[in-house]
Amino acid sequence: MRVCGATACFAAQAGRHLPAIEGVLGVTADDDRDPDPEVSLQTVRCLGYCYGGPAALDGETPCAGPDVVDQVAGRVRPQAPPIPAADATGDPVVLAGIAAGEPPWRTWADTVGRRTPELVQQEVAASGLRGRGGAGFPVAAKWAAAGGSPDTVVIANADEGDPGSYADRLLMEVDPARVLEGLALACFACGARRGLVLVRSEYPQALAQMREAVERARADGHLGRRVHGSGVDLDVEVVAGAGSYVAGEETALIAGLEGGRGCARARPPYPTSSGLWGVPTVVNNVETLAAVPWIVSRGGAAYVRRGTPGETGTKLVCLSERFTHPGCYEVELGTPVRRIVTELGGGLRNGAELGVLQVGGPLGGFLSEQVLDVPLTETELAGHGAALGHAGLVAIDDRIEPLEVLRHVWAFAAAESCGACSPCRVGSRRGLELARTGEPPGDAYARMLRVMSEASLCAFGRRLPPAVRSLVRAYEDRLRGWGG
């Protein structure tokens, strides 16, 4: 049994579901002393049911909802509602299939053998599309950096580790062919003959859908040798991830695919010059790839008209269970966060007051009610110490004490730090120890935050201190001293 202890599920019942599940199963979570238990319980951080949690996975059967404890105990039938999804732009890009019924693979069939890889790269460059996995790197520049070698591998990053985000799960389970079409176009633009999809093991249904979609694509001639009568050979393999948050960071993801531990490594070399087994490797997020068919068929100029001049296009946002209308919505970049929260989300359920809003997952940040007019862009959110990330919006209502939220943030950090570098390995555990005492921290804590943000190997350790500071700012004087 895997039970989610991540932010949206924590916010649903202030974390009470986990001890209750331990109670009904009669086991302690993450206790591996019994080598052959009848039931074992593992805490995981996000199962992609953040809109209807708390959530658990019994084998491969999802259980989600306010009565998750009864479901797990077998007192009521397991249930997991489908992801509510809607377009709020009037002309969906990423949800073109799901919200507008546009069939997949048309752009691929029109492109392969008729257009050149350079043309595809040019359209994507003209669109201004940036990676949607969190780092926001320009997509066409990454493709160009791989250099066009036929050894290039393009990896669809479907690790979706950010608690609060389930956009990639939606795309893979409901419109997997569009993700594959985007991957095929990316491979074509990079001159690659091989694509990989790394799906996190916490998403068994998505894994099955992606595998089935690859089989169908092969049977329909979208993949294979001499695709659609062209000179292009392309095959795609779907691989299950091994769990953990950091395993979604691109160098950690590559290490995992090579059979090693999912730990990040120093860059350079960047994966585009030396990635999987030393060959040029392009890693793109699932949502990034799902935007590519629209851009190639409508043209980069059409995409530039969406969003803001500095940050073009649309973005999927995921609203957590505390909202009246939780779900995955496609919005234009630049939409005020308040509009998303009130008009799409309908505010908080049962008239609850917002404590803080987490935007962009554990490496993003927290906003208070007062600053929700901020437009949803990387630049504007950065001005408030937050980040766009994968655009999960997790509402934490005012029933939960600020110190509990702080402890939750440090507990996530301590559990998910991969341990490859000392500032983050030691700092995340020390942060949790201090937060557990609840005593106002001193200068050593402030120094520790500085060392973490300056000396950590990857963005996990570097982004945690700003995320903590944004939480402290959002709660104003209720967490004084904890920002370092």
Ligand X SMILES: Cc1cc2nc3c(=O)[nH]c(=O)nc-3n(C[C@H](O)[C@H](O)[C@H](O)COP(=O)(O)O)c2cc1C
Which residues of the chain form contacts with ligand SF4 (CB under 6 A)?
Answer: 246, 263-264, 417-421, 424-425, 456-458, 460-461
Spatial contact of 123 and 297, defined as CB atoms under 8 Å apart: no
Burial 114-123 (b: 16+ CB within 10 A, else e): ebebeebbbb
Whose CA is closest to 2, among 33, 42, 29? Answer: 42
State which residue, 10 or 475, has the beta carbon closest to ligand FES.
10
The CB-of-124 to ligand X minimum distance in angstroms stands at 11
State which residue, 137 or 211, has the beta carbon closest to ligand X.
137
With binding defined as CB under 6 A, does residue 244 bind ligand X?
no
State which residue, 203 or 366, has the beta carbon closest to ligand X.
203
Which residue from 21, 25, 47, 94 is in contact with ligand FES, where contact means CB under 6 A?
47
Spatial contact of 1 and 63, defined as CB atoms under 8 Å apart: no
Q: Which of residues 128-167 bind ligand FES (CB under 6 A)?
A: 163-164
Q: Which of residues 368-427 bind ligand X (CB under 6 A)?
A: none
The CB-of-155 to ligand SF4 minimum distance in angstroms stands at 19
H/E run at residue 55: strand 55-58
In single-letter form, the type of residue at position 269 comes to P
With binding defined as CB under 6 A, does residue 187 bind ligand FES?
no
Q: How many CB atoms lie within 10 A of CB 26?
A: 9
With binding defined as CB under 6 A, does residue 97 bind ligand X?
no
State which residue, 51 or 303, has the beta carbon closest to ligand FES.
51
Which residue from 71, 284, 417, 456 is in contact with ligand X, where contact means CB under 6 A?
284
With binding defined as CB under 6 A, does residue 345 bind ligand X?
no
Which residue from 104, 133, 375, 385 is in contact with ligand X, where contact means CB under 6 A?
133
Q: Could you give the dihedral angle defined by the CA atoms of residues 264, 265, 271 and 275, in that order, rounded to the nearest 10 degrees? A: -90
Compute CA distances 406 → 66, 209, 348, 464, 481, whole Å. 24, 37, 21, 12, 12
Nearest residue to the partner ligand X, using Cβ: 131
Distance CA 54, CA 36 (A): 27
With binding defined as CB under 6 A, does residue 272 bind ligand X?
no
Helices marked H in 245-370 — which ranges?
A: 250-257, 286-298, 300-304, 337-339
By CB under 6 A, name the binding residues for ligand X: 131-135, 137, 157, 159-161, 245-246, 248-250, 283-285, 288, 458-460
By CB under 6 A, name the binding residues for ligand FES: 4, 6-9, 46-50, 53, 55, 163-164
